[in-house]
Structure 1
Amino acid sequence: MRPRPTPATFREVFAVGEFRALWAAELLSQLGDQFARVALSVLVYERTSSALLTGLTYALTYLPSLLGGVLLGGLADRYPRRRVIVVTDLLRAALVGLMAVPGLPLPVLCVLLAGMTTLSGPFKAAQLALLADVLDRDRYVLGLSIRQMTIQTAQVAGFLTGGALTQAVSPSAGLGLNAISFAVSALLVHFGVRRRDAPAADTSRSRPASGGLMPVLRHPGLRSLLGLSWLAGCHIAPEGLAAPYASALGSDSAAAVGLIMAGTSVGSVVGAVVFGRLLSEALRARALAPLALLTGVPLALCAFRPGLAASTLLFAVSGALATGYHIQLSASFVRLLPEPVRAGGLGVLSSGLVTVQGLGVLAAGAMADLIGPANAVACAGVVSILLGVRPAWMWTRVLGRGDEAAPTSADTDSIPLTRAATKRT
């Protein structure tokens, strides 16, 4: 009997210098993004006094990412991934630097913001694909766990410090810091990650930049994973409705709003540790579909109008379950993607995730106006379960056929894009 491999540890992952560079760059970019979101919200509201325009501007920090991921995500399959990360970071630094110019007309500001968000599509595609090149096997899954914890921690810290910074200085200062964070991120990746050739330089030149979309749609396993990832549009409801939810509970304090938002983030960190470090890969793959469905259950319980403490606990449990299945979802997605279209496929996954979250926040807000925040969160939980049944069933069938059997990211070239496809030569 083959000995069971020793699970990877956080120390092993951080011992990889290239991962440390990618991690530090991600941390800086996330902090800068939160500074910018706070600054933009304040800036637009100060100029227009319109909650609608402020909300639409905030949505622009999410929605155009889908366009960039689908149309431009494949660039990291045609060109060296490190170069794609550095170039997109520098372009985003330039765009946000222009946004920081005081007195810029609002329409111009929105155009620059849409351009900056669009570039996040190819950036994330290249980043996730490069992470799979840097880390292998369990270290990749653990790297995704660390990435998730970093994102959640940076979001909380960025929102808190961004609000204080914007109040103490100016919205332009927050945007300026975001531009600097992109520039420093580009330097970290350029000097901290070694150069690699384009993953499919001999075959991908003739491919369109959007070549990652069709492989995802053709493969039943990838389609099911994509559908399960889109449930995040429902799971984000507590975060998007934190302020009205707290108000409906009779607590209008900022502390109550912060507690609700922190519940999801803290649960996400716990989920990243438990599911990324303590469970075996085989168990994570089998648990992926059930966890995706269970994530909506704590939200559905909000129909019983729990108090602040109980609601925060429910949101923490939902956050932990969501993170648990998303970590394995990303790892399985990588294993099913052939190398020549890996970045393009990951661009579809990551940008789609960001987009459905932006749409989910807008939909939850509209529903809360009609039926109240608690009922809106409960409906989001129920809808996520109903929408998740079919992709969860499809994923279970994929596992039963053994399609998710590639042991390492290096073996994904041998996985067919369709059941009838032959092995590539």
Structure 2
Amino acid sequence: MGARPSGRHRRAAERQATYREVIAVGEFRALWYAQGFSLLGDQLAQVALAVLVYQRTNSPLATAAVYALTYLPSIVGGPLLAGLADRFARRRVMLWCDLLRALLVAVMAVPGMPFAVLCVLVFLVVLLSAPFSAARAALLPEILPGDRYVVGSALQNMTNQAVQMLGFAAGGALIATLGPYRALAIDAATFLASALLLVAGVRRRPAPASGGDARPSMWSMTRAGSKLVFGDRRLRTLVLFAWLCGFYVLPEGLAVPYAAKLDSDLPVAVVTGLLMAAMPTGTVIGAFAFSRFVSPTGRLRLMGWMAMLSCAPLVFSALQPPLPVVLGLWVLSGVGGAYQLAANAAFVQCVPAERRGQAFGLVQSGLMAAQGLGILVGGLAAERLGPEPVVALSGVMGVTGAAVLAMLWTESRADIAARVRAQATA
């Protein structure tokens, strides 16, 4: 019997993709740029809405409720609409979603639009993000196979977080200069830019479920997708890892009242932007380090520990530290959030290619719902307890959940690690 290879040799045998080879793929660049454009416009609108509501109401609950409005539509239509990504050509689904969202946001940008109408339009815009995100998530593994997928996901994640960091940090100043309606007009233009990039850079592909006239109904696809995702122990664990972000994203929904409570000489809008930019900053750092310096199977081993790190720093909010310490803790929480890269890659390994759209859509919908409901409940609790204790309690609950999932994951990861290792050494 031959000697068992050492850990060093096993890690050396796993080939890791590089950022250069991923960026060299033209279709990935088109998806990458399109998503960045769209997200930048969204951040401007999000900051404007949060600051405006708090200025008018001085209520953490009202502020959290409006912020949660950007998440909750996924509960209503996400699981059903995500199936469009497996029913029709994924590029076409993305294009139609971009065009419809551009139209809806352009209506929002009309001066004097009633606030209630704006909320309805926001709901519809977010609703259309479900099939778009499902189609993009299902298309990415086809464009970037193997470890390229992880590196490409990391690059997209870092870009998204960097755009959020820029949008949140500079959002208050830009909104003060441009006004909310011009910010919404910019958001509409970014959706059009995204559509143009998809037309120019992503090639046409046939619909995944091309069964002639015998296409399954949307309801049957939703039921089948739910059975696939929740009927497998490995997938259930990975889904719960993804939904854990509801605990560590909650502070963003309370950023305005948290900023108002801090003893700082800076304006509340500036402190709000800094707080909302802290976690994205940490996620950029974590995603780069996790994808660049950790082997594919090493990411799977570290996933549980990173998930606990994403929530543990929030516990120290109970001590009511000053602004610099709060920023450091939230950045560290963002670093831990990079575990989602490993969870995402493992999920891809377990789901058939022709059913990825529905599966990703269900996970994304639950993820958005968890974040929205968490922020809404957090806002209600902050009305009574204040933002610092609520953030700390969220951290305690998140660490507890992450520890349980980490134990479950040790029993489920062996065969996934074997598949990842086989791909990485191929």
For 1:415, the equivalent position in structure 2 comes to none
Using the TM superposition, give the Cα deviation of residue 248 of structure 1 relative to its aligned residue in structure 2, in angstroms. 3.7
For 2:32, the equivalent position in structure 1 comes to 23
Q: Does 1:336 align with 2:345?
A: no
Matched to 2:350, the amino acid is: L
Q: Does 1:147 align with 2:156?
A: yes
Using the TM superposition, give the Cα deviation of residue 169 of structure 1 relative to its aligned residue in structure 2, in angstroms. 3.3
How many residues are aligned here?
408
TM alignment of 1:124-273, pairs within 5 A: 124-202=133-211, 205-208=215-218, 209-210=221-222, 211-251=224-264, 253-254=266-267, 255-273=270-288
8 A contact 1:260–1:312 mirrored in 2: yes
Q: Which of 286, 292, 298 matches 2:307?
A: 292
For 2:104, the equivalent position in structure 1 comes to 95
Matched to 1:328, the amino acid is: A
Matched to 2:102, the amino acid is: A
For 1:355, the equivalent position in structure 2 comes to 369
Matched to 1:167, the amino acid is: A
For 2:396, the equivalent position in structure 1 comes to 382
Q: d(CA) in 1 for partners of 2:33 and 2:421?
A: 25
RMSD: 2.6
Gaps of 5+ in 2: none
Deviations 1:154-209 (A, max 9, x none): 11222344433432233221111111111110110121001111123138822535
8 A contact 2:315–2:393 mirrored in 1: yes
8 A contact 2:263–2:322 mirrored in 1: no
Deviations 1:287-346 (A, max 9, x none): 1122212322211233334333232222211110112x1111111111111122111111
TM-score between both structures, scaled by the size of structure 1: 0.88
Gaps of 5+ in 1: 411-425
8 A contact 1:212–1:343 mirrored in 2: no
Q: d(CA) in 2 for partners of 1:39 and 1:260?
A: 15
Using the TM superposition, give the Cα deviation of residue 213 of structure 1 relative to its aligned residue in structure 2, in angstroms. 2.4
For 2:120, the equivalent position in structure 1 comes to 111
Using the TM superposition, give the Cα deviation of residue 360 of structure 1 relative to its aligned residue in structure 2, in angstroms. 2.1
> CA 1:404/1:216 → structure 2, altered by over 3 Å: closer, same or farther?
farther
8 A contact 2:75–2:366 mirrored in 1: yes
Q: d(CA) in 2 for partners of 1:257 and 1:166?
A: 13
Matched to 2:162, the amino acid is: T
Q: d(CA) in 1 for partners of 2:324 and 2:230?
A: 42
Deviations 1:105-151 (A, max 9, x none): 33332222211111101110111111111101111111111111111
Q: d(CA) in 1 for partners of 2:175 and 2:75?
A: 29
Q: Does 1:79 align with 2:88?
A: yes
- What SS is found at the alignment partner of 1:205? coil
> CA 1:68/1:404 → structure 2, altered by over 3 Å: closer, same or farther?
farther
Deviations 1:348-379 (A, max 9, x none): 12222222222222222333333333322221
> CA 1:380/1:135 → structure 2, altered by over 3 Å: closer, same or farther?
same
Q: d(CA) in 2 for partners of 1:109 and 1:369?
A: 25
Q: d(CA) in 1 for partners of 2:169 and 2:263?
A: 23
Deviations 1:225-252 (A, max 9, x none): 1111111111013323334334444226
Q: d(CA) in 2 for partners of 1:303 and 1:54?
A: 21
Matched to 2:370, the amino acid is: V
Matched to 2:238, the amino acid is: L
- Of the structure 1 ranges 171-180 and 307-316, higher mean CA displacement relative to structure 2 is found in 307-316
8 A contact 1:299–1:377 mirrored in 2: yes
> CA 1:404/1:122 → structure 2, altered by over 3 Å: closer, same or farther?
farther
Q: d(CA) in 1 for partners of 2:331 and 2:231?
A: 35
TM-score between both structures, scaled by the size of structure 2: 0.88
Using the TM superposition, give the Cα deviation of residue 257 of structure 1 relative to its aligned residue in structure 2, in angstroms. 3.7
Q: d(CA) in 2 for partners of 1:409 and 1:200?
A: 28
Q: Which of 340, 347, 368 matches 1:326?
A: 340
Q: d(CA) in 1 for partners of 2:145 and 2:233?
A: 24
Matched to 1:302, the amino acid is: S
What percentage of residue pairs aligned between the two structures are identical? 44
> CA 1:312/1:341 → structure 2, altered by over 3 Å: closer, same or farther?
same
Matched to 2:397, the amino acid is: V
Q: d(CA) in 2 for partners of 1:249 and 1:113?
A: 30
> CA 1:240/1:186 → structure 2, altered by over 3 Å: closer, same or farther?
same
For 1:364, the equivalent position in structure 2 comes to 378
8 A contact 1:213–1:348 mirrored in 2: yes
Q: d(CA) in 2 for partners of 1:377 and 1:386?
A: 14
Matched to 1:235, the amino acid is: Y
Using the TM superposition, give the Cα deviation of residue 395 of structure 1 relative to its aligned residue in structure 2, in angstroms. 2.2
8 A contact 1:335–1:408 mirrored in 2: no
TM alignment of 1:296-311, pairs within 5 A: 296-311=311-326
Q: Which of 251, 261, 282 matches 2:297?
A: 282
Q: d(CA) in 1 for partners of 2:274 and 2:185?
A: 29
